[in-house]
Structures are given as C-alpha cells and as structure tokens.
C-alpha cells in the first residue's frame, strides 16, 4: 500500500471542517501540511457555510435565523529542505462570528448584531529524527478585531450598547510530534496550539482581554485494506477561558460572549482510492451536547455531522471538493430561549500543487 496515495484522503476532512468546530472556531489545525509529499507544495482552501440557527422565548416569540452564510479561506506552502528538515507557512482565519437578530420581531435581542474577524499566519519547521519519528513547531502571529451592537427590550441590561475594537496583533506558538509507518499509511500526530491573549479597550478606555484558548489535536490514520484508509481526529480546546467582557457593559458583571465549558470535537472517516486518479471519503463528526446554558450570541450546544468528499489527483496537482451536513445541537440561552431543530450545510474546495 503506497502512503503517497492514501495520505491525501485525510485532507478531505479539511474541506468545510470549520463549521463543526467548538466555540467561535472557524478553521482547524493545519499543521499537517508538513507531511505533504513533494519538494514544494502549495494549497488553497475555500469553504462556504450556510447555518440555520433560530430559537424562541416561551415557544412564541421567535428570533429568526441569527447566523448568516459566511466564507472561510486558507493558503499554505510547504518546502522539503532535505531528507530531515522541512518548513511550512500558512495563513488562515482561525476564529470568527457573525450573529444578527432581525429587528422588529419582538424577540428580546431584536436588532442585535455582532462580528468577530481574525487572521493568523503560522510558520513551522519539522525535523525527522528517523523515517518514523518527527517533531515540529513554530510561531503564530494572529490578529483579532470585532464589533457589537446590543439592543435589548424587557431585560435587566443596557437597552443599547455599541463597541468596535480594531485589530490587535499577538503571538503564540505551535508544537507537535508524529509517529509514522509509511508502508501501511500509518500516522499519529499530536499538535499543541498555545493560547493567544488579545488586549482591547472599551468605550471608556478601560482595558479588557480576550483569550483564544489553547488547544490539543490528535490526528490518526492507517491503511486497513488495499487502497482503503481509516482516519480520525480528536480536538480539545479550553473554551471555558473564552469571554468578551468590557467593563462599560453592565458594569462588567455580564459578558458579551462566553463559553461555559471546554469542548471536545471528534471526527472519524474512511477513504478509498477508486482509480489511479480518483479517491473519495466519508466522515462523521461529533461534539457532545453538554447541557450548558449558552450565551445569546451562540444558540448551539454540540452537533453531529456527515461529510462526503471526492478528490482528483495527478502527479503535480490535485483538486478536492466536499460537502458536509451538520445537525446542530439544541441549546437554552441565558434569557430562557430555546434553540432547536437547527442545522447547517458547508461546501468547500481545496487545490494543491506540487513542484
């Protein structure tokens, strides 16, 4: 079994993978670009996500869909310097949010909207100690910005609040190690991403911090039959450390956004090479419904997802397309609203070039 063919099937999970990540995560660990074959490798990923997330108070007053369609992009490059050493550089939009409550509905947050934007550039190096054991690491520079307009009615909160924060740049790091047996397409890789703490000021000039929390991701794959591979990942992220709490909103007693629990996200799949050029994969993703009372800029708690992808490969380039359906978990919010029966559809494309 040639791993050079079957390693590519794990890349199928990167298509539209971000929609099913915890917290405000919009993209996943892309350090595995270091394991792509070839002297030089460049990849571009694009995904579009269409969520349908709505709820109601007392089963009567509805929120409408609070999340609009969004796109997510990433670009990466890997260079094999010699048999032992390789480098990678990639840019991605790791976190984000776009929440909007339609005005005039009678819902307590009608007219509220919030947006979070990010960009991270990560540089990595990987060293092969043997043909089976390797370690990698590097630095990440990340920007974070956002704006929020809160409108409330009948709640013990300010009836109107606005805040815009410009881009803040901070630095984190990535560390990882991997074990491989190329002859059977086995690879196990563990990646650690450090927390990155951003500094902002509210309308009164008082400083507050927003932490994008640390994360650990385990990637695994192995061949199980001729031209067939099984693969999966498990990701833990310390989302309980995340909150946006400016002091000039409700005296800092209430956070604009937060996550009550750390989040584990899982995905498993099977990939098969059908012809010399065509391969495909099926994936199932899962995030536990933790039973948390979530914030009013969330409306979700857990999920289960189903994905299909197809890949066309040649010696020097490949194109992967994929689609994923996400059954979004029900949730209760802090004002007693219930969000249920929600879902999302994501589609993406990945183009890779080797030269």
| DSSP for 203-265, written as a single string | TTS-EEEEEE--EEEEEEEEEEETTEEEEEEEEEE-GGG-EE--TTSGGGTS-SEE-SS-EEE
Q: Give per-residue pLDDT as tens, 119-137.
A: 999 999 999 999 999 999 9
| Contact yes or no for 221/186 (Cβ under 8 A) | yes
* Comparison of pLDDT for 295 and 179, the residue scoring more: 179
Q: Give per-residue pLDDT as tens, 242-298.
A: 999 999 998 999 899 999 899 999 999 999 999 999 999 999 999 988 888 888 888
Quote the percentage of the chain above a pLDDT of 90: 78
* Residue 124 Cα distances to 35, 87, 177, 245, angstroms: 12, 6, 12, 33
DSSP, collapsed to helix, strand or coil, labels residue 74 as strand
pLDDT at 2 > cutoff 50: no
pLDDT at 6 > cutoff 60: no
**pLDDT band of 158, cuts 50, 70, 90:** confident
pLDDT at 12 > cutoff 80: no
Q: Give per-residue pLDDT as tens, 66-122.
A: 998 999 999 999 999 999 999 999 999 999 999 999 999 999 999 999 999 999 999
Per-residue model confidence (pLDDT) at position 141: 99
Per-residue model confidence (pLDDT) at position 59: 77
pLDDT at 14 > cutoff 90: no
pLDDT at 17 > cutoff 70: no
**pLDDT band of 50, cuts 50, 70, 90:** very high
Per-residue model confidence (pLDDT) at position 276: 94
Q: Between β-strands 293-294 and 331-333, what pairing exists: parallel, antiparallel or unpaired?
A: parallel
Residue 230 tokens read as 């099984």
**pLDDT band of 15, cuts 50, 70, 90:** low
Mean pLDDT of the residues in the chain: 91
List the domain boundaries for the chain. Answer: 3-354
Residue 53 tokens read as 């997330």
Global confidence as pTM: 0.93
Q: Give per-residue pLDDT as tens, 231-257.
A: 999 999 999 999 999 999 989 998 999
pLDDT at 327 > cutoff 90: yes
Q: What homologous superfamily is domain 3-354 in, according to CATH?
A: Outer membrane protein transport protein (OMPP1/FadL/TodX) (2.40.160.60)
Per-residue model confidence (pLDDT) at position 13: 55
């Amino acid at each position: 079994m040639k791993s050079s063919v079957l390693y590519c099937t794990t890349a199928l999970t990167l298509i539209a993978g971000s929609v099913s990540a915890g917290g405000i995560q919009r993209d996943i660990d892309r350090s595995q670009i270091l394991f792509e074959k070839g002297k030089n490798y460049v990849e571009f990923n694009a995904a579009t996500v269409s969520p349908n997330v709505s709820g109601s108070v007392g089963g009567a007053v509805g929120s409408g869909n609070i999340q609009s369609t969004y796109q997510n992009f990433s670009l990466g490059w890997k260079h094999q310097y010699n048999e032992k050493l390789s480098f990678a550089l990639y840019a991605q939009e790791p976190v984000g949010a776009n929440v909007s409550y339609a005005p005039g509905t009678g819902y307590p947050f009608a007219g509220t909207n919030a947006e979070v934007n990010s960009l991270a550039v990560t540089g990595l190096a990987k060293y092969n100690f043997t043909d089976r054991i390797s370690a990698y690491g590097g630095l990440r520079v990340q920007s974070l910005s956002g704006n929020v307009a809160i409108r409330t009615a009948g709640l013990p909160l300010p009836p109107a609040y606005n805040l815009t924060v410009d881009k803040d740049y901070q630095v984190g790091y990535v560390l990882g190690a991997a074990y491989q047996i190329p002859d059977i397409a086995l690879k196990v890789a563990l990646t650690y991403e450090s927390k990155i703490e951003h500094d902002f000021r509210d309308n009164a000039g008082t400083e507050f911090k927003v932490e994008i929390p640390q994360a650990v991701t385990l990637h695994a794959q192995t061949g199980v039959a001729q031209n067939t591979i099984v693969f999966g990942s498990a990701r833990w992220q310390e989302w309980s450390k995340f909150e946006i709490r400016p002091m000039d909103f409700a005296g800092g007693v209430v956070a604009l956004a937060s996550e009550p629990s750390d989040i584990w996200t899982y995905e498993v799949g099977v990939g098969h090479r059908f012809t010399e050029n065509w391969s495909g994969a099926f994936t199932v993703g899962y995030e536990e419904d933790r039973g948390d009372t979530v914030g009013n800029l969330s409306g979700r708690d857990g999920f289960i997802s189903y994905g299909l992808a197809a890949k066309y490969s040649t010696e020097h380039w490949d194109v992967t397309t994929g689609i994923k359906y996400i059954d979004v978990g029900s949730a209760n919010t802090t004002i007693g609203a219930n969000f249920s029966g929600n879902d999302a559809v994501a589609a993406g494309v990945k183009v890779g070039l080797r030269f």
